[in-house]
Chains A and B, each alone.
Chain A
Amino acid sequence: MTPAAIVGVAETQFSRTSDLTDEELMIDAVRLALHDAGLAKHEVGGLAVGTMTLKDDSPHIAEHFGLELDWSLKSDFGGASGLVGLMRAKEAIEAGVTDVIVVVSGGNRADQPELLHDVMFAPNDYGHRSWILPYGYGGANTFFGLIQQRYMHEYGLTLDQLGKIAVTFRENAQLNENALLKEPLTVEQYKNSRLISDPIRRNDCVMRCAGASAIVIANDALRDRWNHHAVYMGRYATRMAYQTTEESPSRIETGFVSIAEQLFTDVAREDLDFLQLYDDYPIAIVKTLEDLGFAARGAGGQFIERTDISRAGTLPINTGGGLLSVGQPAIAGGFIPIVEAVRQLRHEAGPRQLAKADVGLVTGIGLISYLNNLVVTSAAVMSRESNR
């Protein structure tokens, strides 16, 4: 079996707002990613669309994009849609279903009603409709407020520890031309930012924005075709609906606990050159590090405090600024860690290129559980070599 290789990535110019619809933004990203790969549109045999807003089925989205396909997928895993879509695409290529798949997502700010005529947003429709929205839900901030409050009660966590995460990512964003938040941030500013959903503060939250991202994954047998060094997925795993049959599941433990061991059988944690982690909140970084086994349970804050997570450090995290400083173009936010990993592994990350970037880890997390933490936790080792 020839492995599937990631051969093209692209982001549109992210912006605070846009006049374009989700589909228009996605089409721009598809063109850019195919150009990056050096492949033609007629060679595309599969399309995965990461979206929680487009009502359309994936075959009709393919029709809108002018793509005649062997394979399509509507990847509706929230923030994990990019990474899980990429996993499903890799499996389809390696099963011989088709040779070239584009994984795409894009979106506009969800609060522009004139652009919402063709979209919806209804994760966990029944649960939200009867059990959450009637109480005056404050969005993901509400559940992350519950998560962080419980975490601080059980284990303790300082604002300096959380602030270090936000500040480090902001420093990285200053070298990322597509990051929207570049003004310098200090730990003091982080600590003094206003409360949004206690203990979640303004600087814990991502800024919604407009934009799209696309990734091209293809059969490695076509390897003489690409424009760039290919990137390969090593061990990867996803857990969905963790602890869903518990009568009182943990609000703070995530499904990463159940996939951690299988991820690091070929590449050990200490051999990773970087982590690109889905960072909708700094507390999500803390929990990801703990539950994937980088830090002991309850010790994520101390781990951050004593570890240099900057680009020059022992464990660089979110070298392009993460969602926290780039912005969140809807579900394409989940592509930010993937695109940054690919650029680092190609050694094409420009001024923010790491000195060593041969193998790294990417995560995608998505959707929030009524009683537990995240509904989807996914992670993949990515490498310059196809055998890791």
Chain B
Amino acid sequence: MNKPTPSPVHWDRAFWDAAARGVLTVQRCTECGHRQHYPRPACGVCLSRDRTWEELSGEGTVYSHTVVRQPVNPAFREEAPYIFVDVLLAEGVRIVSVLLGAEPGDVAIGDPVRVTFRPAGQVDLPYFVLAP
């Protein structure tokens, strides 16, 4: 059974291009400076479609977390349980991802994490690991 993979569209392709280089980015409006993730078709503050991509450190802290014990998609059942994380990145924006290399009980809100990438279909998908 196949896992679903991201489907890049023309206005988020730069995110995936940076991800392929191992760099996490966030969409930034060139008119008003607003940053948003997940990417949107326009700036949510001023509706400008003139956007750039700000490179992020890839470092952050756990804002919240949960253990997925019952995936909806059977393709993920062998991997369960795994940890969904809501990460507050050092630059002040947030991203939802999965924490790799940790067991339920290993993670707490506020723990430092850093990004890592794994192939998913035609792109590299950002994941996180606990920072040493």
8 Å CB contact of A197 from B5, B45, B69: B69
B71 to chain A: which residues have CB within 8 Å? 136-138
Is B125 on the interface with A (CB-CB < 8 A)? yes
* Cβ contact within 8 Å between A135 and B97: yes
8 Å CB contact of B36 from A126, A195, A200, A247: A247
* Cβ contact within 8 Å between A248 and B94: yes
Interface size on A, residues (CB 8 A): 34
8 Å CB contact of B93 from A129, A139, A247, A251: A247
B73 to chain A: which residues have CB within 8 Å? 133, 136-137
8 Å CB contact of A150 from B38, B64, B80, B125: B64
B88 to chain A: which residues have CB within 8 Å? 248
Chain B 96-132 near chain A by CB (<8 Å), digits 1 or 0: 1110000010000100000000001100010000000
A371 to B38, CA, bound (A): 9
Chain B 26-43 near chain A by CB (<8 Å), digits 1 or 0: 000000001111100000
A59 to chain B: which residues have CB within 8 Å? none
* Cβ contact within 8 Å between A126 and B79: no
Chain B 48-91 near chain A by CB (<8 Å), digits 1 or 0: 00000000000000011111111111011001101010101000
* Cβ contact within 8 Å between B66 and A142: yes
Given contacts A136-B71, A150-B64, contact A127 B38 (CB under 8 A): yes
* Cβ contact within 8 Å between B64 and A138: no
Q: Interface range on chain B: under 10, 10 to 19, 20 to 34, or 35 or more?
A: 35 or more
* Cβ contact within 8 Å between A134 and B70: no
Chain A 344-368 near chain B by CB (<8 Å), digits 1 or 0: 0000000000000000000000000
B121 to chain A: which residues have CB within 8 Å? 134
* Cβ contact within 8 Å between B44 and A198: no
Chain A 16-27 near chain B by CB (<8 Å), digits 1 or 0: 000000000000
A199 to chain B: which residues have CB within 8 Å? 66
A141 to chain B: which residues have CB within 8 Å? 66, 70
With a 10 A CB-CB cut-off, give which of A149, A195, A197, A244 has the most chain B CB atoms: A149
A244 to B37, CA, bound (A): 10
Is A196 on the interface with B (CB-CB < 8 A)? yes
Is A293 on the interface with B (CB-CB < 8 A)? no
With a 10 A CB-CB cut-off, give which of A195, A200, A248 has the most chain B CB atoms: A248
* Cβ contact within 8 Å between B7 and A130: yes
Closest A residue to B12 by CB, please name it.
Answer: A130
Given contacts A134-B120, A248-B88, contact A149 B96 (CB under 8 A): no
A371 to chain B: which residues have CB within 8 Å? 37, 86, 94, 96
- Smallest CB separation, B55 vs chain A (Å): 16
Closest B residue to A131 by CB, please name it.
Answer: B38
* Cβ contact within 8 Å between A146 and B64: yes
* Cβ contact within 8 Å between B120 and A139: no
8 Å CB contact of A200 from B3, B8, B65, B66: B66
A129 to B109, CA, bound (A): 27
A306 to chain B: which residues have CB within 8 Å? none
Given contacts A138-B84, A248-B88, A371-B94, contact A146 B65 (CB under 8 A): yes
A370 to B6, CA, bound (A): 16
- Smallest CB separation, A136 vs chain B (Å): 4
A198 to B86, CA, bound (A): 14
* Cβ contact within 8 Å between B98 and A136: yes
* Cβ contact within 8 Å between A134 and B86: no
Given contacts A130-B38, A142-B66, A370-B96, contact A245 B72 (CB under 8 A): no
* Cβ contact within 8 Å between A134 and B72: no
B125 to chain A: which residues have CB within 8 Å? 134-135
Is A145 on the interface with B (CB-CB < 8 A)? yes
- Smallest CB separation, B107 vs chain A (Å): 10
* Cβ contact within 8 Å between A195 and B38: no
- Smallest CB separation, A207 vs chain B (Å): 14
A248 to B36, CA, bound (A): 9
B76 to chain A: which residues have CB within 8 Å? 136
- Smallest CB separation, A284 vs chain B (Å): 15
A130 to B5, CA, bound (A): 7
A370 to B66, CA, bound (A): 14
8 Å CB contact of A149 from B6, B7, B65, B70: B65
A147 to B109, CA, bound (A): 12
8 Å CB contact of A136 from B6, B7, B79: B79
* Cβ contact within 8 Å between A149 and B66: yes
A133 to B97, CA, bound (A): 10
* Cβ contact within 8 Å between B66 and A198: yes
* Cβ contact within 8 Å between A126 and B66: no
- Given A135-B96, A149-B65, A371-B37, 4 additional A-B pairs, CB 8 A: A129-B4, A145-B84, A198-B66, A371-B96
List the 5 shortest-distance A-B pairs measured between CB atoms, nearest first. Answer: A145-B66, A136-B76, A130-B6, A150-B64, A138-B68
